[in-house]
A and B are shown apart, each in its own frame.
Chain A
Amino acid sequence: MPHRLSRPGRRIDPARALHFTFDGAPHRGFAGDTLASALLGAGRILMGRSFKYHRPRGPVTAGQDEPNALVGLGQGGRFEPNQRATATPLFEGLTAISQNRWPSLEHDVGSVNARLSRFLPAGFYYKTFLWPASFWKKVYEPVIRASAGLGRPPEGPDADRYEHLHTHCDLAIVGGGIAGLAAALEAGRAGRRVLLMEQDTIWGGRTVTDGAIDGTTIDGLDPAAWVARAVDDLSAMDSVTLRSGLMGAGVYDHGYLTAHERVADDRPGADAPRHRLWKIRAGHIVTATGGLERPLAFAGNDLPGVMLASAVRDYVCDYAVTPGRRVVIVTTNDDAYRTALALLDAGVEVPAVIDARSQVTGALPTRVRDRGVEIVTGSGLRAEGTGRVERVLVCDVTGDGTPTRRIACDAVAMSGGWSPVPHLWSHCGGKLTWNDERGFFAPDPDRPPVGADGTGMVSAIGTAAGHMDAAACLGQADTPVTQPVERLPRPTWIMPERAGPALRSKMFLDYQNDVKVSDIQLAAQEGFVSVEHAKRYTTLGMATDQGKLSNINGLAVLSDAVGRPIPDVGTTTFRPPYVPISMGSIAGEARGEIFQPLRRTPLHDWHEANGATWEPVGHWRRPYCYTRDGEDIRAAVSREIRNVRENVGLLDASTLGKIVVKGPDAGRFMDLLYTNMMSTLAVGRCRYGLMCSENGFLMDDGVVARLSEDTFLCHTTTGGADRIHAHMEEWLQTEWWDLKVHTANVTEQWAQIAVVGPRARDVLDRLGGMDLSRDAMPFMTWSDGTLADLPVRVFRISFSGELSYEVAVPANLGRALWDRLLEAGADMGVMPYGTEALHVLRAEKGFIMIGDETDGTVIPQDLGLHWAISKKKDDFIGKRGQQRSHMTDPDRWKLVGLETLDGGVLPDGAYAALDDRNANGQRKTEGRVTSTYYSPTLKRGIAMGLILNGPDRMGETVTFPGTDGKVHTARIVDPVFYDKQGARQDV
């Protein structure tokens, strides 16, 4: 049985007890424990259930690569599923629950799948659940979904916060084992800016625990002392940054590295971000990420109590717990003998070491043999037991599994040898090479991932590069190392090697997903011979450990099944992150209000305080309308419209884009940018302009003012400002780099208020300071001046058909101007209006709105805007596009007004339908509604639309089927519904 040992553990502090619960039962562990070590210490080995067959499982590792011991952690807004118990630091009050079981971990109904496993081989679901067809959605899929999945979903909004940290360095070293420390010392001494990170909370990697077992010395020191000295030396270097608890997660193009720091996982509720995502630009990346031990594929290798040999000695030495009282060791290499020594030193019985090699003569095995432990050579085994391992049956490793003896035990420590961790090397295309002697893939130094300069941007060192002893890991550092010499391992992929189908169907490769040797062989038999096919067909390597334990064994089995060498079969692609990282950390701080930070005009707070109903427009919010007591939205909009037509309204137009185009070639540039002739615009004048895409489609519009001979101010739509500025810059920088022009987006520098309505001039006159009369300031002009002692620029332009001035002031004076206008116009009925009133006002006048009348498929000619397209210019963006045959086709959908026969409002987005159908059986259409409103001015529905040859069909009726089954009939009319002569704006 697992239990706590009465000996010290390197990581734990027995003086500090910590209390926690697992599935509601109270337990006690020590500071420094992981959840898994504490549960083992409490006598518990069963910690999880597998994904497919719901088999009972105990921990198989002592780290992040754990596939079995996954639990739900925390409560409420801090609940999180699928936490590795083996990498979860214990803290006071921790609450954990087991997963993927019902009703309890011990008694799981889903384990019936294990009994049926013979009927549920790899890919069985592709072959069945076919009839009746309707059952997939209603019966089969819901049952499969409920049985699959692991932990239960988080409950709601996350109670914690996260942050990003940006940094850069000459050298980022991932992995704080002896190789990483030595590399950091060397680079640090050379004065380079080094970031050294280690995913564990302590430094030194495997060498500290292993070296204490086998008596390794480095530079005359025991490894722990050497590591402590190295960390001290590095801490004293200004150019070196050391971070433990920071995991290198992913390598991206151009030396970009992400790393994940668990800041406060063990302090729920602390005033700190829970995780921190590091975004690092590194001149060079060194991966010193060490190795991963491979399990062995023998029958019964998934029973609770079967663990990696390295994990067993970590539990014994670091946490003072043992998974059992009698531990059999099964290995293909010398390294596992360290586990035997650690168990013997801790007083745990080791009845035998089963070694696949026929000759076992290394220094470590000799020490074990000298301590009276039997070494059974040339052998393999299978494990048996109910709910946990109870015995092993030893057999010839090259045979078919006939047992030669039986050994009672309550745990098995297995080692299939070690593989380098190549993930970060491979994320950006680093290639691997197969080491046949030791049976692993290692980074090929001749084929690294390349950076922007075409040279390698990642190097692998230490065990990650395939070096399996301390001296080699320290490389040319010239550091004297004493360490027992290890003999070569015997790569062994299944055990025994001629096992029949019954045994192979009990040899687990991917523990979590229950992929067995027989599944890979079935995949190969059915033609899924590419490693990617085998993975996808069997789900090998797709579990939460992403194949860290299973991939090499799996592809070796595949290689054998298809009769091709392992390097020809190859690996699947290594993808970030190395270990799964929280979505919260990826999202970072930007959530809630600051997810896409809100842009606020200088008048935002006034709107908020005065009843604005908001509408998101781009990254801004604009008032849709301002409701008063007892008013609904529709009533408010109607009131605002009537007031503009009858008195005077104020609109916050600050969000409209304002881009300055300046330089000796500004006129030439403007002529290319707009369809209109802009270079002839006189200083002091305004002109309504159109911008088209290269394909000729109308993309933005707005009023251009010529500020001086070499300066234009371009107004754009609110949503278009940033896009149009980028568009200008793209053309200037990539095509017309010879033009002497600068552009600047000054949208936020100005507050702009539209004063609109028959009393507009009266209100402004009352502010005093400028002559705004018709003669002094005609329509489509602008002027600088002072109003109410504020410096202003006034544009006499109109988007409503009313007498209208747009007054711009420096942004910090916007609120002052707004207040003065409200004050001055109080007795004239001045009131603000929102975007919906703006839309109705312009629709009553037949003015188009970008995004309503246009959708990226409409050319200005469709909208009757021929007058704004210069015929005199050689070129402008979109000119050639508009000459394509479909664009010049006279039969196009064109802008008209639409009036329902009954005065009602046409449904938004409706299409004008014909009775017949096209070749694909769809109803033919002849147009669509682009804008539709109730006009309080005209007291009826009005609409604009694009109708086939519409301007030639005035007075005809067209029909619009609604989605509610009603059919609306409308008459084609002129799009200008109100004040057709334009008398009201030119007064």
Chain B
Amino acid sequence: MRRYSAFAIAREALRHHTGWERAWKSAAPKSRYDVVIVGAGGHGLATAYWLGRNHGITNVAVIEKGWLGGGNTGRNTTIIRSNYLQDPSAALYEKSRSLYETMSQDLNYNVMFSPRGVLMLAQTEHEKRGYLRTAHANALQGITTRFIGPAEVKKICPIMNIDGPRYPVLGGLWQERAGTARHDAVAWGYARACSDMGMDIVEQCEVTGVTRDGARVTGLSTTRGDIACDKLGIVVAGHSGRLAEMAGFRLPVESVPLQALVSEPIKPCMDIVVMANTVHGYMSQSDKGEMVIGGGTDGYNAYTQRGSFQHIEETVRALVETFPMISRLKMLRQWGGIVDMTGDRSPILSRTPVENCFINCGWGTGGFKATPGSGWAFAELMATGASPLTAAFGMERFREGRFIDESVAAGVAH
């Protein structure tokens, strides 16, 4: 792999950039791999990357129905934080956040991780108490967060209206080392690194069946031929239920549209990420200058990557109330993705009833932030059979009632 650097750009500039090679090789599937990952989104690619880096497993294929990173990896609002309440979540998301800090250098690909800080607003007494609780939990979990008052909120985010009239800001839970990253670059950077390790990234390859020998998985049929594998990892977000059905088990997952939108770009006016759960909306400003906005999920299950206008309306209304100046910005574009929701809104990283078949899904509305940690943990689970980070996220927890419920503190948005 030719390394990227300012020097490399200067060198290429002199020859009209004719020397750049493909970021990742275009591969046709081989007939057999040690591990096949289905789904070349961020989580699938991160899993492959850490299988290679941490466990020396490089005879790996990542197969993708469409184009790499085209699902929720390329549709989310890029928020990265780890101020979760429950211990298992906090461990996983903090691992992930810390991996983001070194990701650009690890991958030699600038994913533009921007630790600009995430603020979760408290606008009711109840919400405030929830965040006080989270701050206590985070302190014991080794995560740096603190509850700040309205004056400090106004100082770090001057465009916010903290005086209501409807819901005055009572303070917020502030995680200074949280932030955002460039979502597409995460997928591209991992793909490039995986390809460099000799892994095959096979796009335009749809799985049509899972083959088994008794209770054990042996491979896949795809639109580009049959592929045998020793271990199979399913990392397909909204379509997890369909893949599980092919493998012969059921998942407690529902698929729901989640929408987001951006404004036209403007000069910098907001340096942090703000999540306002009482009014249901969150916003940050991309490096390009667009205000990136998200809200709650649609009220019905669907596989369409669009949603109803009512949710856009509610989200924008909430944010106009919180940031009055955006009233005079224009909505440039709205879009939707399909999020896979579990009963407790926490993910599943698990063995399955099918031997050697593993599943990583259920990230709901909050998967992007977990990308590197999810890959790290899932790779460990697949390679060694267990990981302390995934231990609580097995799918048997729904049968046992051992839920990991974050909605306790987080309200709507992850």
Contacts and interface: CB of A to CB of B under 8 A. Distances in A.
Interface of A: 51, 78-82, 118-119, 121, 124-131, 133, 136-137, 141-142, 144-146, 148-158, 162, 250, 252-253, 256, 258, 279, 427-429, 501-502, 505, 518, 522, 525-530, 532-533, 536-537, 539, 544, 546, 573, 575-577, 580-584, 586-588, 590-593, 595-596, 598, 615-617, 624, 695-696, 719, 851-852, 855-857, 881, 884-887, 907-911, 913, 918-923, 925, 928, 961-963
B5 A127 contact: yes
B306 interface: yes
A968 B409 CA distance: 23
A583 B115 contact: no
Given A253-B304, A909-B133, A961-B136, 15 more contacts: A51-B265, A130-B4, A130-B110, A137-B115, A145-B285, A155-B325, A525-B17, A526-B22, A527-B24, A536-B184, A575-B306, A886-B397, A918-B87, A920-B88, A962-B136
B266 interface: yes
B288 interface: yes
Given A252-B308, A582-B329, A695-B401, A148 B265 contact: yes
A884 B137 contact: no
Contact of B105 (A133, A162, A530, A907): A133
B155 interface: no
Contacts of B4: 126-128, 130
A522 B109 CA distance: 17
A2 to B, nearest CB: 26
20 contacts: A128-B6, A130-B105, A133-B104, A148-B289, A150-B265, A150-B267, A151-B266, A158-B320, A250-B309, A253-B304, A527-B23, A584-B327, A587-B327, A591-B320, A616-B166, A909-B137, A918-B87, A920-B88, A921-B91, A963-B146
Contacts of A719: 126
Interface of B: 4-6, 8-10, 13, 16-18, 20-26, 66-70, 74, 87-88, 90-91, 101-102, 104-105, 108-110, 112-116, 123-126, 129-137, 139-142, 146-147, 159, 161, 165-167, 182, 184-185, 188-189, 203, 263-269, 278-279, 285, 287-289, 304-306, 308-309, 312-313, 316-321, 324-335, 343, 388-389, 391, 397, 399-403, 405, 407-409
B327 to A, nearest CB: 4
B44 to A, nearest CB: 16
A587 B5 CA distance: 45
Contacts of B328: 78-81, 154, 158, 582-584
Contacts of A907: 132, 136
A256 B309 contact: yes
A580 B261 CA distance: 11
A155 B269 CA distance: 10
A518 B401 contact: no
B321 A591 contact: yes
Q: Which of A162, A596, A909 has the most CB of B within 10 A?
A: A909
B18 A911 contact: no
B335 A573 contact: yes
Given A532-B74, A544-B332, A925-B140, A522 B105 contact: no
Given A526-B20, A616-B123, A920-B389, A580 B330 contact: yes
Identify the 5 closest CB pairs spanning chains A and B, nearest first. A149-B289, A909-B133, A884-B401, A580-B330, A527-B22
Contact of A592 (B26, B165, B388): B165
Contacts of B147: 963
A501 B165 contact: no
Given A129-B110, A136-B112, A149 B166 contact: no
B129 A502 contact: no
B384 to A, nearest CB: 14
B300 to A, nearest CB: 10
Contacts of A962: 136
A118 B167 CA distance: 51
B1 to A, nearest CB: 12
Contact of B136 (A250, A256, A527, A910): A910
A696 B344 CA distance: 13
A479 B249 CA distance: 63
Contacts of A591: 317, 320-321, 327
Contact of A575 (B17, B167, B309, B334): B334
B155 to A, nearest CB: 17
A505 B14 CA distance: 13
Nearest to A70: B264
Contacts of B324: 156-158
Nearest to A145: B268
Given A126-B188, A908-B129, A583 B141 contact: no
B401 A887 contact: yes
A432 to B, nearest CB: 17
A156 B326 CA distance: 8
B289 A582 contact: no
Contacts, number: 336
Contact of A253 (B114, B159, B308): B308
A943 to B, nearest CB: 13
A620 B124 CA distance: 11
A279 B269 CA distance: 31
A920 B308 contact: no
B104 A130 contact: yes
Given A124-B9, A587-B327, A149 B266 contact: yes
A922 B140 contact: yes
B68 A881 contact: no
Contacts of A529: 26
A124 B69 CA distance: 20
A881 B344 CA distance: 13
Contact of B408 (A518, A525, A856): A856
Contacts of A576: 333-334
A581 B167 contact: no
Nearest to A501: B16
B326 A154 contact: yes
Contacts of B325: 153-158
B128 to A, nearest CB: 9
Nearest to A162: B327
A574 to B, nearest CB: 10
B90 to A, nearest CB: 7
Contacts of A925: 87, 137, 140
Nearest to B191: A527
B329 A149 contact: no
A890 to B, nearest CB: 14
A750 B133 CA distance: 36
A490 B266 CA distance: 39
Contacts of B388: 918-920
B16 A502 contact: yes
A884 B309 CA distance: 40
Contacts of B165: 592-593
A144 B329 contact: no
Given A696-B401, A884-B401, A121 B331 contact: no
Contacts of A911: 136-137, 140
B243 to A, nearest CB: 22
A696 B391 CA distance: 23
Contacts of B184: 536-537
Nearest to A857: B405
Given A583-B326, A583-B328, A857-B405, A128 B267 contact: no
Nearest to B101: A133
A565 B320 CA distance: 45
Contacts of A131: 5, 105
Contacts of A78: 328
A127 B9 contact: yes
Given A128-B6, A149-B288, A913-B140, A855 B408 contact: yes
B343 A154 contact: no
A533 B91 contact: no
A137 B266 contact: no
